[in-house]
């Protein structure tokens, strides 16, 4: 029995992870569930899955949960079993993922909130199934170095990186020519450039192929998600970004490709169903027969691949620039994007303001920072704080 802690159990990846756990009750159990503030859903999850621990980031919500009947019952609905212990704050998240009984941690908080809890889980020797790509964008060097030191495996849950992971099975990493990440292109792939500035959050949340959380859906519309994934692939597979390319593939059937030095292209394909990469990470290195819907590749599919329009979607180029500059610049990229996307979702800024704010933050940070200084968790957290202040003031000023 693998006992699983989920950082972000009420989010999109979190709820789909619980579906996978429910499909294989003899193999997986939810040991710890964590949420920021959605305690109604967390209460339902506790009643169904009977975790031993829950952590609620928001202290006020945690207090309310302590009064709620659903948490006290616990035990997966079995009478006589005590409810889960309830923890709060970042400390609570850390307790939930480092508990000695936890075997594997699903890291699925959006943005920077999962960084420290995931690092603590690595230090505690837990296998990490990583959905929170911002962790590698912000602090890839620190995370991967800690994983090496603690002999911890980091398994990608992101569908593209799960695809690359599968293509690389049995291959010599030195024989990789390049990795090609596929992007759906998001909802604005065919939008006229002059119309882009008028697009609303409702338009942007209407993703053509994948069902995901709000942050990653907006990031898909700007192509920042693909930029983050380039950085994620750089750290996960130890490749220079010059060997990582992006193609627009609107059907989202090919999840990514690896070109080897002999010219062979290996591709992984499948339905657009996040439960498949989640299940892959939970069961790795085994493969389990899954109950999810399939598609039939012998039908008349047409697959198209096109280069991305970097002038229309400048976020992709900003991500390449951030990782080439290195140091704390990718952390600024990630946090500025988090702030800009939140402002866009609240209708405070327009769609094309998102890359503008991120570029401004990067320029200002580059002008004021010594990029040759060693990267530490402190320098990353300081860059994160600086970016929050800079973007906050900028957003207030308009």
Cβ distance to Mg ion smaller for residue 97 or 157 = 157
Cβ distance to Mg ion smaller for residue 92 or 250 = 250
Cβ distance to Mg ion smaller for residue 247 or 343 = 247
The least distance separating Mg ion from the CB of residue 183, rounded to whole angstroms, comes to: 8
Crossing angle for the helix pair 224-237 and 214-222, nearest 10 degrees? 100
CA distances to 57, 59, 69, 147, 149 from 65, in Å: 12, 10, 8, 34, 37
Q: For the chain, first and last CA: distance in Å?
A: 53
The least distance separating Mg ion from the CB of residue 388, rounded to whole angstroms, comes to: 25
Cβ distance to Mg ion smaller for residue 210 or 292 = 210
The least distance separating Mg ion from the CB of residue 394, rounded to whole angstroms, comes to: 28
Cβ distance to Mg ion smaller for residue 160 or 321 = 160
Cβ distance to Mg ion smaller for residue 24 or 284 = 284
Cα torsion 209, 210, 216, 217: sign: positive
The least distance separating Mg ion from the CB of residue 107, rounded to whole angstroms, comes to: 14
Question: Residue 309 contacts by C-beta under 8 Å, 6 or more apart in sequence?
Answer: none
Peptide bond into 285 cis (omega under 30): yes
Torsion angle of C-alpha atoms 199, 202, 204, 205, degrees rounded to 10? 180
The least distance separating Mg ion from the CB of residue 210, rounded to whole angstroms, comes to: 8
The least distance separating Mg ion from the CB of residue 324, rounded to whole angstroms, comes to: 21
Cβ distance to Mg ion smaller for residue 43 or 158 = 158
According to DSSP, the residues that pair with 50 across neighbouring strands are none
How buried is 37 (Cβ within 10 angstroms: 0-12 exposed, 13-18 middle, 19+ buried)?
middle
According to DSSP, the residues that pair with 180 across neighbouring strands are 245, 257
- Which letter does DSSP use for residue 374 in this model? P
Contact 32, 86 (CB under 8 A): no
Contact 83, 74 (CB under 8 A): yes
Contact 46, 75 (CB under 8 A): no
The least distance separating Mg ion from the CB of residue 353, rounded to whole angstroms, comes to: 24
The least distance separating Mg ion from the CB of residue 108, rounded to whole angstroms, comes to: 13
Residues lying near Mg ion in the complex (CB under 5 A) are found at 158-160
Which stretch of DSSP H or E encloses residue 167?
helix 159-167
Cβ distance to Mg ion smaller for residue 93 or 319 = 319
């Amino acid at each position: 029995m693998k006992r699983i802690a989920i950082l972000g159990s009420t989010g999109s990846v979190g709820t789909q992870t619980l579906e996978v756990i429910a499909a294989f009750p003899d193999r997986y159990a939810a040991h710890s569930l964590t949420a920021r503030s959605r305690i109604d859903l967390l209460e339902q999850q506790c009643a169904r899955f009977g975790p031993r621990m829950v952590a609620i980031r928001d202290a006020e919500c945690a207090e309310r949960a302590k009064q709620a009947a659903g948490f006290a019952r616990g035990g997966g609905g079995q009478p006589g079993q005590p409810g889960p212990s309830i923890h709060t704050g970042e400390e609570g998240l850390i307790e939930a993922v480092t508990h000695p009984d936890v075997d594997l941690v699903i890291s699925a908080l959006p943005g920077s909130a999962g960084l420290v809890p995931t690092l603590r889980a690595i230090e505690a020797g837990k296998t990490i199934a990583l959905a929170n790509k911002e962790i590698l964008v912000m602090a890839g060097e620190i995370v991967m170095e800690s994983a090496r030191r603690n002999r911890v495996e980091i398994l990608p849950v992101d569908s593209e990186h799960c695809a690359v992971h599968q293509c690389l099975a049995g291959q010599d990493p030195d024989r990789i020519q390049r990795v090609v990440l596929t992007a759906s292109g998001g909802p604005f792939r065919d939008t006229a450039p002059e119309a882009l500035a008028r697009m609303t959050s409702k338009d942007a949340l209407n993703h053509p192929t994948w069902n995901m959380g709000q942050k990653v859906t907006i990031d898909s519309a700007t192509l920042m998600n693909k930029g983050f994934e380039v950085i994620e692939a750089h750290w996960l597979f130890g490749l220079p970004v010059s060997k990582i390319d992006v193609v627009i593939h609107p059907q989202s059937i090919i999840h990514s490709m690896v070109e080897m030095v002999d010219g062979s292209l290996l591709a992984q394909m499948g339905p657009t169903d996040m439960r498949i990469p989640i299940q892959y990470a939970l069961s790795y290195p085994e493969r389990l027969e899954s109950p999810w819907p399939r598609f039939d590749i012998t039908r008349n599919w047409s697959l198209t691949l096109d280069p991305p329009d970097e002038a229309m979607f400048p976020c992709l180029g900003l991500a390449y620039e951030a990782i080439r500059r290195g140091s704390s610049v990718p952390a600024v990229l990630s946090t500025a994007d988090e702030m800009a996307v939140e402002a866009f979702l609240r209708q405070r800024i327009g769609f094309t303001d998102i890359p503008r704010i991120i570029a401004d933050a990067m320029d200002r940070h580059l002008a004021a920072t010594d990029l040759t200084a060693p990267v530490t968790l402190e320098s990353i957290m300081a860059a994160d704080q600086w970016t929050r202040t800079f973007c906050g003031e900028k957003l207030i000023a308009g």
